[in-house]
Chain A
Amino acid sequence: MNAINRKEQNTLARAVLEIDVNNHPGVMSHVVGLFSRRAYNVEGILCLPVGDGKQSRIWLLVIEDQRLPQMMKQVEKLEDVIALRRHTAEHAVFQDLESFFRP
């Protein structure tokens, strides 16, 4: 997490990205690298295999700034990304996890 404090963060609009990927050891760094290279902070990450384990699903919680559409296009270009869906910050996936992240 960068220098922004929680209160400031809550005032920033956020988005949730749902990314279906091929499941192998490099795929996470491919995806996350696109963000870190552009100094675009990823607030939350969740990843688990799906079905038979050939694919995984990565959930990212990100701040919604004007670079997000370009970020999404870059993610979609990755060889191992099968699908990308964008949700609003209210999506249940991260909310249900709140209890694990109490200070």
Chain B
Amino acid sequence: MTETLTGAQIAVRLLERQGIRIVTGYPGGAILPIYDALGQSTAIRHVLARHEQGAGFVAQGMARATGQVAVCMASSGPGATNLLTAVADAKLDSIPLVAITGQVPKAMIGTDAFQEVDTYGLSIPITKHNFLVSSAEELLTVIPRAFAIAASGRPGPVLIDIPKDVQSQAIEIAEWPEPGRAEAVPAADPALIARCAALINAAERPVLYLGGGVIHAGAAGTAIELAEKASLPTVMTLMALGAMPVDHALALGMLGMHAARYTNLALEECDLLIAVGARFDDRATGKVAAFCPQAKIVHIDIDPAELGKIKAAHIGIVADVGEALDQLLPAVGANARTAWIDRCRALKTEFPLAMHGAADPRSHFGLIRSVAACLDDEATVATDVGQHQMWVAQAYPLRRPRQWLTSGGLGTMGFGVPAAIGAALAEPQRTVVCFTGDGSILMNIQELVTAAEENVNLKIVLMDNSALGLVHQQQTLFYGERLFASQFKARPDFIKVAQGLGIAAVDLDLAANPCATLVEAITRPGPCLIHVSIDSEEKVYPMVPPGAANRDMIGA
């Protein structure tokens, strides 16, 4: 039996067939046929963000929290350009996203038509792949393909630009394509796995270096098993936090620019670095030539282009990291490695992370620890970008893969609130906390309205230092204390702002018993903003100055 459907109806049906239950976006002229069809769908709920960038990050939050491809939509022109920051962010952090944009009708493309931009051209360098669809028929291959590409191998964003006339074009459909799914990758080369196991078995001071790929591959459990069997002290990138619980005996925490000293010092001494799903980002390695100077390197990654991109590996293995670790596990010998484990423990004792004020809920570390104390590992933790992000990375006891949502590669201020909303929508049973700064929150403040409308269980912890803290810090340390454009003169009343946008708000500054107020705010269901003033002179320490070697950390 055939049905006659428009391109818009086909697109919506294909999303339904992909199992999509929530899409987020913002309408406009060139995507109205799709919105019209979406309005008729009983399977898909549309969440209206209040800015296309917000929509993009809401979708990212869903994808990051669940690992499943998420969908966002925008109209042509300004709708599409507003969406692009979130798409670029997804590219750098390998987040599976399908972004659908409306485009002016085919016949008007290239005429500088109203709200026409070259979305296809603009999105080439910031997507894993992109499509400009030229017929309703083509949607039947493009949409499943887009999902397959987004989810396969190293995940990433795919953009589909659909001209309005293609959305309106009616065709007969006799048969539906299979939904697009992640395609299998070839298994790791057993010979390389054997060599890798031999290196690990022979190493005296190995370190396991986990990146975001471990989270994407669902391989955190296997990575921990490997670490435990072979006694491998383990460092994590910003993207991998949660892969191994911070309080695991082998966990050495986050490496790089804002690592604890012991973490970077252990890397300095290691004789074998086992990089898994990590890409040797400059924030992690510091000056590359001085990174792990004594170590041989094993690099396992699903993306062949990552091998040797920054640092040549002695053994490079292209594979799904979960599959590779599964192969590696039985080949690696149990080994207590007492001397090295003791050495790492000694480094930890001698060069700990100084967390001053951890007992005071109105200091930055104390606040983070107090929030954590109100929650268990089921909670999801999102951040914006700045000092607060690094403090949370240092101080929040992350223990679960996908517990941690942060903009790593692009470092996009404005990520936090909408991404947290997305996480809360995808997993409504969890409490989601978003740590943000007074700079970052303003970049997507309008999404508080979305949070109110959706009544998500989101607690926004606003660490207000009346400054662009990280910029303030860099100017203080590296620009002769010439503070410029990093201090806010006007201070919004964030309590009133939050209330005005429809969500509850509490001010810990004014609370007689801040701990009690915090507990109450976090346990009350629904969205809430928790405002706390933070000293703008506080620094994220220790710190590797830009361009320096990781061993040359400054600050406490």
B124 touches A26 (CB 8 A): yes
Instruction: Please report which residues of chain B, range 295-324, place their CB below 8 angstroms from some CB of chain A when the two chains form the complex.
Output: 303-305, 308-309
Cβ–Cβ contact B125 & A73, under 8 A:
no
Query: Assuming A33-B125, A37-B125, A70-B309, is B120 touching A26 (CB within 8 A)?
Result: yes
Which residues on the A side are within 8 Å of B308 (C-beta)?
A: 69-70
Name A79's contact: one of B132, B149, B303 (CB within 8 Å): B149
Q: Is the CB of B132 within 8 A of A26?
A: yes
Query: Is A30 interfacial (CB-CB < 8 Å)?
Result: yes
Count A-B pairs with CB separation below 8 Å: 28
Q: How far is the CA of A30 from the CA of B455 in the complex (A)?
A: 42
B280: min CB distance to chain A, Å = 13
Nearest to A32 among chain B residues (CB) is B124
How near does chain A come to B197, taking the closest CB pair, in angstroms?
A: 26
Q: How far is the CB of B320 from chain A (nearest CB, A)?
A: 16
Chain B residue nearest to A37 (CB atoms) is B125
Are A29 and B305 neighbours in the complex by a CB distance under 8 Å?
A: no
- A18: CB under 8 A from chain B? no
Residues of the B chain whose Cβ atoms lie less than 8 Å from the Cβ of A29: 121, 124
- Could you say which residues of chain A place their CB within 8 Å of the CB of B130? 26
Q: Is the CB of B120 within 8 A of A73?
A: no
- Measured between beta carbons, the chain B residues less than 8 angstroms from A78 are 129
Q: How large is the interface on A (under 10, 10 to 19, 20 to 34, 35 or more residues)?
A: 10 to 19
CB pair B129–A79 under 8 Å, yes or no, is yes
Question: CA of A30 to CA of B304 in the docked complex: distance in angstroms?
Answer: 18
Contact residues in A for B121 (Cβ distance below 8 Å): 29
B97-125 contact mask (Cβ, 8 Å, vs A): 1 or 0: 00000000000000000000000110011
Contact between A30 and B124 (Cβ–Cβ < 8 Å)? yes
**CB-based contact A77/B305 at 8 Å:** yes
User: Whole-angstrom distance between the alpha carbons of A33 and B127 in the complex?
Assistant: 12
**When the two chains form their complex, are residues A73 and B149 in contact, meaning their CB atoms are under 8 A apart?**
no
Asked if A9 is an interface residue, CB under 8 A from chain B, the answer is no
In the bound complex, CA of A26 to CA of B132 (Å): 8
Bound CA span A77–B129, Å: 10
- Judge whether A64 is part of the interface by a CB distance below 8 angstroms: no
Binary CB contact string for chain A from 20 to 62 against chain B (1 if under 8 A, 0 otherwise): 0000011001100100010000000000000000000000000
Verify A70–B124 contact, CB threshold 8 A. Answer: no
- B303 & A77 in contact (Cβ 8 Å cutoff): yes
**Which B residues lie within 8 Å of A37 (CB)?**
125
Contact of B305 among A25, A26, A33, A73 (CB under 8 A): A73
B132 contacts which chain A residues (CB < 8 A)?
A: 25-26
Cα–Cα distance between A69 and B303 once the two chains are bound (Å): 14
Shortest C-beta distance, A21 to chain B (Å), equals 13
Please give, as numbers and ranges, the residues of chain A lying within 8 Å of B128 by CB-CB distance.
79
For the complex, what is the distance from the CA of A73 to the CA of B304, rounded to whole Å? Answer: 7
Min CB distance B95 to A, Å, is: 17
A74 partner residues in chain B, CB cutoff 8 A = 305
Q: A26-B132, A29-B121 are known; give 8 further A-B pairs, CB within 8 A.
A: A33-B124, A70-B309, A73-B305, A76-B304, A77-B304, A77-B305, A78-B129, A79-B149
